[in-house]
Amino acid sequence: MIQNLTEHDREHLQEALGKSGQKVTPQREAVFTVLLAERDHPTVDEVFQRAREVMPGVSLATVYNCLETFVGCGLVRQVNHERESTRYCPNLAPHAHFRDKETGRVHDIELPPEVIKSLRSILPPGFDSEVIEISFHGRAQAKDSPAN
């Protein structure tokens, strides 16, 4: 069952939206409620299904809009950041990727073994990871692609 927002959460929503000049609407409340109710990293479609339980008339487009708005004002995070076309690289050495916001270019960043180790060490017992994907997003002033 999806509970109503607590006073505190409602204020949080209000404040975050307000800061960027946007309003609290029933739809936004519904979507936010859904996100807080079950923190299982739902897809848009899952959010949509659940939101309809609370507000039967909401549309899928609105759910997309709300989520975009929330991401924009820092209320929620996108897990598959900037879903774009899949990219391929023939560099098989362990490395991270850095996507330059400005150019869209992706650079390889060498990944020293001790960093990999420290990453693995944060996994709780019972979690066994074969693949670690790391990607940075930001700006690079570098002239040329580094390590490749």
CB of 130 to DNA, least distance (A): 19
Tell me whether strands 106-110 and 95-100 are parallel, antiparallel or unpaired. antiparallel
- Compute the distance between CA of residue 31 and CA of residue 25 in angstroms, rounded to an integer: 10
Q: Which of 5, 55, 73, 134 binds a copy of itself (CB under 8 A)?
A: 134
CB of 142 to a copy of itself, least distance (A): 4
Q: Which of 21, 56, 112, 113 binds a copy of itself (CB under 8 A)?
A: 112
Residue 94 interacting partner from DNA, a copy of itself, none (CB closer than 5 to 8 Å by kind): none
Contact 102, 141 (CB under 8 A): no
CA nearest neighbour of 2 among 32, 24, 28, 25: 32
Is there binding between residue 67 and a copy of itself (CB under 8 A)? Answer: yes
Q: Please give the helix or strand (H or E) that residue 28 lies within, else none.
A: helix 26-37
CB of 23 to a copy of itself, least distance (A): 20
Contact 15, 23 (CB under 8 A): no
Dihedral sign of CA atoms 86, 90, 94, 100 in order:
negative
Is there binding between residue 131 and a copy of itself (CB under 8 A)? Answer: yes
Residues of the shown chain interacting with a copy of itself in the complex, contacts defined by CB under 8 A: 35-36, 39-45, 47, 67, 70-71, 74-81, 83-92, 96-98, 105-112, 114-115, 118-119, 122-124, 126-142, 145-148
